Chains A and B, each alone.
Chain A
Amino acid sequence: MTSSRQIKALYRALLDQQLTKSRLLLITGFSVLALVLALSIGSQVDTENRTEAIVGFLSVYGLGFMVPILSLLFASTTLGQLVEDETLVYLWLRPNPRWQLALAAWAASATIALPIAVIPLAAAAAIGTSGDGGIVAATALSMGLAAIGYSGLFVLLGLVFRRALLWGLVYIFIWELFVARAGAGAARLSLNTYPHSVLARLTEIELPLAERSMAAGLIVPVVLAAVSVGATAWWLSRAEIA
């Protein structure tokens, strides 16, 4: 009971630090662009190829850019900002197990990343496919899985690295967009391949990087998030706090 009260307090405090005007503008910009592009694709591509075109767009724009970048922006600063402005000490010094802070940080990040990943991109899928329920559901699920996984990964990144935003962008643009596409081994180490696989299998449309099974696509992002929370807690217990 006490634990849940403390996790809730941590979660609310971390969430409160996240939403700033500039970030809300960025979310709005990404979302509006997704809707406009989906509308444009839906109106320009013939009916026969429309689903493939929209899913391809969601794969590149949604899973390739929007979800990882917005997740990075929020998750890497959840604890990273506290390290930067030296306020982590106020949470760290309290008599709470480290996993509580790590879990609250992931939950605060995912609370923002999930709706900003799922809602506009599912809406874009609906607009682009004239309301194809299957595509909309596949989009919502795959984007949600990506947001969950990336949130965990980038909370840890923000805690460990000083310039987490830069390192996160390097990971997204160098590793996920280029290295992971170069070979099967590297692809396994790319988070992006798993939600891609879910999107591809549910929509039955071939996508690059979509080489994992449905089960792996569903399980790995969640497991990655859990492992990241554990690693964040471990790091917190050993880190030196300013």
Chain B
Amino acid sequence: MTVQGGGLQDGNIEISAEPRAIPIDASVVLRQVSKSFGPLVAVSDIDLVVRPGITAILGPNGAGKSTLLRLICGLAKPTTGTVWVAGGDPRFDDTARGHIGLVPQQDGVFERQSALETVTLAATLSGLANPDTQARRALNTVELDPDLGRPVGTFSKGMRQRVKVAQALVHDPTVLVLDEPLNGLDPRQRQHMIELFRRLGDAGRTVLVSSHVLDEVERFGSHVVVVAKGRLVAEGDFHEIRDLLDTQPHRVRVACGDARALAARLIRSDAVLGCDIVKADTLELTTDDVRVARRLLLSSSRDLDQTLRAITPLDDDLESVFRYLVGRPS
């Protein structure tokens, strides 16, 4: 796990030292890639190696996630640096591009075509032998009826999203790039898609998925790339990133009998940095040592003859990791 480029608030960082040669198992490699639009730097000096499996790209809106994915697909030209995908530069190498399946963020689809026509076109352009059969298979995979003859322009947002996923999957790409792929899907479809992408990752495909919805990213998998202000600020296992940040304060919500009395007792300890009384029976404490704070909670509640109904960590999720890494609320 690596944290790069001054992402931590206190500047206490470990710099990534990836080997300069392309790793043999890498599907996507970015070397010192930057992308500027006039004076605006959208992506800055990113070094990234992506291997088969699911990699989630996390960052707030405007962080540079979509630009990063566009660079990976060859849709945008890097201002500096090189992009290598499945053996070539996707901007100029047809074969490399043929290994990519993309679900773009934008809503645009071929409005006048049916779902089957759209996906069959994708299959034909990818050079598949039986485009119609392959298109039907892809549409079935995303749970869309291939014989639904009406134009995609009349589809709901969720159905359009599934058409986009089907056209990206139809040629069984080795690198699947998904930019906010769950937009517009209902909870059941979201779960279905997450399982589908996980299966593809488990089957050795490289699945790159971006999202600003933290819950989504956490469900996709534990390998996370955090992007903020165009820079890659951290990369690795989500829980490892969280562990690295153990020096950062943790917040814990405590449901008890009398929050005010318990807070008065807790605040005397050096391990407790602060206590907020949320309700008469609920408080949130900030600590730099969760274990000590937990022991203190148990002993204090016993001394005060209070029952602890729940102790809930508030920051063992991506949102808190993200907040620590980029130094701003998401």
Given A13-B113, A16-B113; A96-B108 close (CB under 8 Å):
no
Verify if B30 is at the interface (C-beta below 8 Å from A).
no
Query: What B residues does A240 contact at CB under 8 A?
Result: 70, 75-77
Identity of the chain A residue whose Cβ is nearest the Cβ of B90 in the assembled complex: A93
Given A90-B110, A93-B73; A2-B125 close (CB under 8 Å):
no
Verify B122–A94 contact, CB threshold 8 A: yes
Query: What A residues does B97 contact at CB under 8 A?
Result: 93-95
The complex places the Cα of A25 from the Cα of B109 at a distance, in Å, of 25
Verify if A47 is at the interface (C-beta below 8 Å from B).
no
Could you say which of A4-12, A117-125, A141-149, A227-235 contacts chain B? A4-12
Please classify the interface of chain A as helix (H, G, I), strand (E, B), loop, or mixed, using the class held by over half of its residues: helix
Verify if B221 is at the interface (C-beta below 8 Å from A).
no
Could you say which of B9-17, B98-106, B245-253 contacts chain A? B98-106
Question: How many A-B residue contacts, CB cutoff 8 Å?
Answer: 69
Given A85-B108, A86-B108, A89-B102; A96-B125 close (CB under 8 Å):
yes
Verify B104–A86 contact, CB threshold 8 A: yes
Verify if A97 is at the interface (C-beta below 8 Å from B).
yes
Verify if B121 is at the interface (C-beta below 8 Å from A).
yes
Verify if B126 is at the interface (C-beta below 8 Å from A).
yes
Query: What A residues does B70 contact at CB under 8 A?
Result: 240-241
Contacting residues of chain B (79-122) with chain A, CB-CB under 8 angstroms: 91-92, 94-95, 97-98, 100, 102, 104, 106, 108-113, 117-118, 121-122
Identity of the chain B residue whose Cβ is nearest the Cβ of A101 in the assembled complex: B125
B243 CB to nearest chain A CB (Å): 38
A contact residues, range? 20 to 34
* Partner of B126 from A17, A87, A94, A237 at Cβ < 8 Å: A94
Query: What A residues does B75 contact at CB under 8 A?
Result: 89, 92-93, 240-242
Verify if B320 is at the interface (C-beta below 8 Å from A).
no
Contacting residues of chain B (217-242) with chain A, CB-CB under 8 angstroms: none
Given A92-B75, A94-B97; A6-B110 close (CB under 8 Å):
no
The complex places the Cα of A5 from the Cα of B98 at a distance, in Å, of 17
Verify B127–A95 contact, CB threshold 8 A: yes
The complex places the Cα of A231 from the Cα of B267 at a distance, in Å, of 72
* Partner of B106 from A16, A86, A95 at Cβ < 8 Å: A86
A–B pairs, 11, beta carbons within 8 Å:
A6-B125, A9-B124, A9-B125, A86-B104, A86-B108, A93-B73, A93-B100, A95-B95, A95-B97, A241-B70, A242-B106
Q: Chain B interface (Cβ within 8 Å of chain A)? A: 70, 73-77, 91-92, 94-95, 97-98, 100, 102, 104, 106, 108-113, 117-118, 121-122, 124-127, 167
Q: A10-B125, A13-B121, A86-B108 are in contact. List 7 more A-B contacts (CB 8 A).
A: A89-B104, A90-B121, A93-B100, A95-B94, A95-B125, A96-B125, A240-B76
Q: Chain A interface (Cβ within 8 Å of chain B)? A: 2, 5-6, 9-10, 13, 16-17, 85-87, 89-97, 237-238, 240-242
